[in-house]
């Protein structure tokens, strides 16, 4: 690989440090995390969950998927979930696939990384499903922490509709977090 290609690729990854998580910004969270911080949270959550499940996993593959999962946002930015519902079905994946192809265009390992990204989006393997669980779990944990830190009532929307996870271990963590949030809310409202 030539150095200009490597530097361009690294700059795309570095862009995630400056790409705000738009959903938090929309909801008025001050100093909201960036996509790189969220990506680290997903990697760490996936690593932790992998220790709890009995199904054998290729840890390197799992962590690579987690690290790459939001790389396209270096070009597309972080478009929050509510916005995607106004766009044609499947367009998010199509747009992000195009961004991944552009980011990796000259990398000699582009095929391997694109395969990992496609595996994640197909969500057919245990590793891909665990990364999806880690992605959601990191978001809910962050919502809980932001709500606790700021008292931001807009973040209550995250708890209105229960989420179902692929793995029971992830579900148990989410359920415990949801229970803590419910207890925090009741205490705040004077019910406890």
Q: What is the DSSP letter of 52?
A: T
Average pLDDT for residues 60-84, to the nearest whole number? 94
Cα 173 from Cα 139, distance rounded (Å): 13
Give the pLDDT band (50/70/90) at residue 1: low
* Residue 167 in this model has a pLDDT that exceeds 90: yes
- Residues 127 and 67: their CA atoms lie apart, in Å, by 13
Q: Give me the pLDDT at residue 168, please.
A: 98
Percentage of the chain with pLDDT > 70? 99
pLDDT tens-digit readout, 14-54: 999 999 999 999 999 999 999 999 999 999 999 999 999 99
In CATH, what number does 3-188 get? 1.10.3210.10
The tally of CA atoms less than 13 A away on the side-chain side of residue 189 is 8
Do the Cβ atoms of 164 and 171 come closer than 8 Å? yes
The arithmetic mean of pLDDT across residues 57-74, rounded, is 97
* Residue 116 near residue 61, CB atoms below 8 Å: yes
Q: Give residues with Cβ within 8 angstroms of 30, minimum separation 6.
A: 150
pTM of the model: 0.94
pLDDT of residue 192: 59
């Amino acid at each position: 690989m030539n150095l200009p290609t490597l530097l361009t690729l690294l700059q795309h990854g570095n862009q995630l440090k400056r790409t705000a998580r738009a959903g938090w910004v929309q909801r008025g969270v001050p100093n909201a995390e960036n996509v790189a911080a969220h990506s680290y949270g997903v990697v760490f959550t996936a690593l932790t969950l992998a220790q709890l499940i009995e199904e054998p996993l290729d840890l390197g593959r799992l962590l690579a998927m987690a690290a790459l999962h939001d790389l396209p946002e270096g070009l597309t930015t972080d478009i929050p979930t509510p916005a995607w519902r106004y766009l044609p079905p499947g367009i998010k994946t199509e747009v992000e696939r195009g961004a991944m192809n552009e980011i990796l265009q000259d990398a000699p390992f582009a095929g391997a990384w694109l395969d990992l990204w496609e595996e994640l989006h197909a969500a057919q393997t245990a590793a891909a499903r665990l990364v999806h669980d880690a992605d959601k779990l990191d978001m809910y944990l962050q919502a809980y922490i932001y709500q606790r830190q700021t008292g931001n009532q807009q973040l209550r929307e995250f708890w209105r509709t229960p989420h179902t996870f692929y793995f029971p271990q992830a579900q148990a963590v989410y359920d415990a977090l949801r229970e803590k949030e419910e207890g925090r809310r009741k205490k705040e409202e004077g019910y406890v």
